[in-house]
Amino acid sequence: MKALSFVNGKWVTPNHDPVQVYSPYTHEVIGEQWFATASDVEDALASAYAAKKDMANIPAYERAKILRRAAELLDKEKERLAKLISLELGKPLKNTRDEVSRSVATLELSSDEAKRLIGETLLGDAAERGKEAIAVTFRVPVGVVAAITPFNAPLNLVCHKIGPAFAAGNSIILKPAPQTPLIATELLKILLEAGFPPNAINTVYGGSGSRAANCQRWSCQCDFLYGRGIGKQEYM
């Protein structure tokens, strides 16, 4: 199996050597991944920013429908994906089956919440000058979400980032853990099959040295769960 970065709606053709992916249980080679270059990362950031208006313009009902379809496809592939997580991570199959089920639920809940992004209506008469006024608030996308995820629940924690971010109308840059790139690639294929616009999500692979999320310079919303010290290495 191969894990290639997905940038600007296309799988990136690498011009450098891959990094082998090993099963921690059998120690056998089970796949290959290509770490993103600095150029790949910049292209992913530029693509995500170019797409943010398109993502915000997708109606809530359409975002909900796409996420619901992704949940259905994930459920159909439950056994295959559970076995892949076990192979790639070394978890017992009992636990990985549960993780896939949780991932399905995460996408289903994200689908529901896409239609609940409501604001508030407030009467202004708490002050005399506002007695004829009404204040209205509503929620809007932040624009771009950079999601960095760990290896310990490599499917569900990716869904925890992508599902809500897409439900809220954001474009996404995903950097999964370098230990588990294969399951992330399989999820990305399912999301695209479900109807995710190709420019809705960019995926880059690598360790902390890849500098895969320069959020500070690009001013995007960074959301990560990772090991000690990684946040500092990624963002500083």
Question: For residues 49 and 144, what is the distance between their CA atoms, to the nearest angstrom?
Answer: 6
Q: Taken in order 39, 204, 214, 114, is the CA torsion positive or negative?
A: positive
Tens digit of each residue's pLDDT (9 = 90 or more) over 13-26: 989 999 999 999 99
* H or E segment and range at residue 140: none
pLDDT category of residue 233 using cuts at 50, 70 and 90:
very low
Which CATH number do you get for residue 185? 3.40.605.10
The tally of domains found in the chain comes to: 1
Q: Provide mean pLDDT across the span 190-206.
A: 96
118 contacts 139 by C-beta, under 8 angstroms: yes
Tens digit of each residue's pLDDT (9 = 90 or more) over 132-179: 899 899 889 999 999 999 999 999 999 999 999 999 999 999 999 999
Give the residue numbers spanning the domain of 175.
2-235
* Token representation of residue 236: 């500083």
On average, the pLDDT of the chain sits at 89
Alpha helices in the chain (DSSP H): 38-56, 60-76, 78-89, 93-113, 156-167, 181-194, 215-218, 230-235
- Is the model's pLDDT at 222 over the cut of 60? no
Q: Provide mean pLDDT across the span 93-102.
A: 98
pLDDT for 127: 83
- Is the model's pLDDT at 236 over the cut of 80? no
Lowest mean pLDDT, pick from 11-15, 62-66, 123-127:
123-127
Angle 45-200-13 from CA coordinates, rounded to 5°: 65
- Give the gyration radius of the chain's Cα atoms: 19
Question: For residues 38 and 97, what is the distance between their CA atoms, to the nearest angstrom?
Answer: 36
